[in-house]
Amino acid sequence: MVTEHPARAAAILAMSAVERGAKSDWLALFADDATFEDPVGVSFLDPEGKGHRGKAEISTFWDQNIARGKVKFDIHHSYAAGNEVANTGTLTVRTEGDVITTLEATILYRVNKKGKLVSVRAFWEVDKMNVSMPSG
């Protein structure tokens, strides 16, 4: 029997929770002192580029960003090593008014010995996002 790598298992659960809009399930995957960077560095989602630290800030990120749309992950490759996994793929986000945003990303998930997420770092480029507005 093959056991799923703990970081990959946590990543799969996290992506599933996001796709289902299950905030409480998603937050339960994080350690209390976790960090969340989406994207890494300065962006319109994180003007200071410091990321979001602890469950309260991560919860606020959900409310201000993830909750605004329906997210779909299409993971093309997944590489696990140590206590981390790097997933590369396409994210599609459908927001109010049927605006569809797609982006290519590499997302790194790191877990502690209990399998809780201690770090999520998403690498994607704002200027490479593809935004499609509904016709009409």
pLDDT 10s digits, 36-80? 999 999 999 899 999 999 999 999 999 999 999 999 999 999 999
Query: Given pLDDT bands bounded at 50, 70 and 90, which one contains residue 3?
Result: low
Name the pTM for this structure.
0.93
| DSSP code, position 118 | E
Q: What is the pLDDT of residues 10-45, one digit of tens each?
A: 999 999 999 999 999 999 999 999 999 999 999 998
Distance set, CA 115 to CA 1, 8, 11, 109, 120 (Å): 19, 10, 10, 11, 13
Give the Cα separation of 50 and 41 in Å (integer): 7
Q: What is the pLDDT of residues 100-116, one digit of tens each?
A: 999 999 999 999 999 99
> Does pLDDT of 2 surpass 60?
no
Give the Cα separation of 70 and 84 in Å (integer): 26
Cβ proximity of 71 and 90 under 8 Å: no
Q: Which of 90, 95, 76, 96 is nearest to 122 (CA)?
A: 90
- Domain 6-132 fold is Nuclear Transport Factor 2; Chain: A, (3.10.450)
Radius of gyration of the chain (CA): 15
